[in-house]
Chains A and B, each alone.
Chain A
Amino acid sequence: MTMPLTGPLLSVEDLVVEHRTPGRPVVRAVAGASLRVAAGEVVGLVGESGCGKSTLARAVCGLHGTASGRILVGGHPVTPLGLRRRDRALTGVQMVFQDPYSSLNPRRRVGAQIADGLRTAGDTATQPADLLERVGLPRAFADRFPHEFSGGQRQRVAIARALAARPSLLIGDEPISALDASAQAQVARLMRDLAVESGAGLLFISHDLSVVRLIADRIAVMYLGKVVETGPTAEVWADPRHPYTRALLAAIPSPDGAGVLPAELPGDVPDPADPPAGCRFHPRCPLAMDVCREREPDFGPVACWLHAPEPPASS
């Protein structure tokens, strides 16, 4: 794919995505999130359910309209997907969905579904079986139907279909959460390896931090529609700075046999239709200060008043 590679592959700036239901208040699922993914980079997007991470992914694919902000893929703005053929420049964005039981067509052979991807990329040399081989399935499986596969195998087929279109940006929206525990790490690693191998960027969305830690170069933590902390995976893991990131990491039980109950983050995620004033995390934050209740920390890489960049000269 010919793309002017100036700057990051994917750049999301101040993105706002709203869900509108008649008779209900507007829900800001994504409320000013910014994110970058470079070519060949794996970015893990984590957060609790309802924080807007899937909505962000859908907006990047053009599956959901945006209210404001910009999404650029390789310099091209992403437009919502319509009935017409997708702009060539945007077929480089491919998605692997959460549930491989519903994302594959049950009535078509998997080979034919992978061939759709190849046709998108105008690739006449590659066979669907070649792609099955790349995702670790036997070539002969191209003649089978989705129901003949297990969950992990189906997700491999979905990955093969996404790769067939020669993506420059691969998006995985909770691609492993519907799989068996034993298949999760394998499929996640496979996605990483295949994306990095082909030089594509990977935006990997998951609520499973231990898997994200395994495959991501960078982590972005999302809370209630905003990215609250980004940084290299090892750094965030060793020294989480945002209180929310700390709470997320502390809640993971470790299989050490010691019988330690994980720390609990009290409270629920607030209603995105009515977010709290000031910092969005302050009602649940153990370290909330006065300033947190009044002003929203809108800076990075750690959106928390405890980690504000150098205070302005006024102080």
Chain B
Amino acid sequence: MSAALTIEGLRVSIGGREVLHGVDLTLEAGRVHGLAGESGSGKTMTGLAVLGLLPHGSESSGRIEFGGRDLLRTPERELDAVRGAKIAMVFQDPSTSLHPMLTVGRQLTEHMRHHLGLGRREARERATGLLAKVRIPGPEEALKRYPHQFSGGMRQRIAIAVALACEPEVLIADEPTTALDVTVQAGILRLLRGLCDDLGLAVLLVTHDLGVMSAVADEVSVMKDGLVVETGARGQVLREPRHPYTRSLLDALPVPPGENSP
């Protein structure tokens, strides 16, 4: 197993206030790395830093190594060739991450044509294939429709298809199922896991839901106040947490009294 992306000592400060105090993470191809923690702990910032999408006026130091170079020291123009092509992202809310006034086909083909230099017809064919891969019924017709004509779960599938279009090596999924119902969530989790296994994607799954974490992640990291406090294999972190904070997260889960003794 080789590291697809390595984050070392990542520090980010916004407006003079440091929000990440040295984060270390390693993503491996074909593995799902879960990043847990409460809101405000810096999970999303870590994901955004990898893509160079930090808010204006923020400063970052440390290293984010991908494909032999440090993303934090790569000029914007070169970064554009990586973002959306080699490293892709899926956001929390599919009703705001897709453009409401562009057809699904347009959103799926635009960046493919830009990054891969494909022709109109080629891009369309690929887009149809991608929609089939994320199991959208009737992919041909779906290309002509708009995001509001799909349900929340279908929209998130489309957003995943958009992210996968340029065959990325790294996928960052920021709370991809938080806005969805449990029944739909189950489908998306299965899809993510399947894609990771089939395509050898390195996935960074940001979520606050430890149940979701337990279902799909191979490794789990727990963040608190801008620091990773614990990293380890899924079974170890969720069953025998070493850090008191991880334990308190697990204890905060709603389990009715007298139910946890099988």
The answer to whether B214 touches A258 (Cβ under 8 A) is yes
- Which of chain A's residues have a CB closer than 8 A to the CB of B252? 181-182, 185
Pair B238/A264 contact, Cβ less than 8 Å: no
Contact digits for B226-243, partner A, Cβ 8 Å, 1 yes 0 no: 000000001111110000
Q: What residue in chain B is nearest A49 (Cβ atoms)?
A: B181
Residues of B participating in the A interface, judged by any CB pair closer than 8 Å: 38-39, 151-154, 181-187, 189-190, 193, 208-218, 234-239, 249-250, 252-254, 256
A21-29, A121-129, A244-252, A288-296 - interface stretch: A244-252
In the complex the two chains form, what is the Cα distance from A253 to B212 in whole Å?
Answer: 6
> In the bound complex, what is the Cα–Cα distance between A110 and B234 (angstroms)?
44
Contact pick for A209, options B38, B182, B250, CB 8 Å? B182
| Contacting residues, chain A, for B234 (C-beta < 8 A) | 257, 259
Q: Give me the interface of A with B, judged by CB distance under 8 Å.
A: 48-50, 180-182, 184-185, 188, 207, 209-211, 213-214, 247-248, 251-266, 268-269
A255 close to B189 (CB less than 8 A)? no
How far is the CB of B257 from the nearest CB of chain A, in Å? 10
A255 touches B250 (CB 8 A): yes
Contact B253 A268 (CB under 8 A): no
Instruction: Name the B residues within 8 Å of A181 (CB-CB).
Output: 38-39, 208-209, 252
Residues of B with C-beta under 8 A to A259: 214-218, 234-235
CB pair B212 A214 closer than 8 Å: no
9 nearest CB pairs, A to B:
A257-B238, A253-B211, A255-B210, A253-B215, A265-B183, A262-B186, A251-B182, A251-B186, A214-B254
Is B182 in contact with A268, judged by CB distance below 8 angstroms? no
Contact of B214 among A180, A255, A268 (CB under 8 A): A255
In the bound complex, CA of A247 to CA of B208 (Å): 23
Closest CB-CB distance, A165 to chain B, in whole Å? 28
Most B CB within 10 A of own CB, among A50, A181, A182, A210: A181
Interface centre among A209, A210, A255, A268 (most CB of B within 10 A): A255
A-B contact pairs, 17 of them (CB 8 A): A49-B152, A180-B39, A180-B208, A181-B39, A207-B182, A214-B256, A247-B183, A248-B183, A252-B211, A253-B185, A253-B186, A255-B213, A256-B239, A259-B217, A260-B214, A262-B185, A268-B154
Would you call B186 and A264 a contact (CB within 8 A)?
A: yes
Known: A48-B184, A268-B151. 11 other contacts (CB 8 A): A180-B38, A180-B39, A185-B252, A207-B182, A253-B211, A260-B214, A261-B189, A261-B190, A264-B187, A264-B190, A266-B187
Residues of A within 8 A of B214 (CB): 253-260
| Interfacial chain A residues near B182, Cβ < 8 Å | 207, 209, 248, 251-252, 262
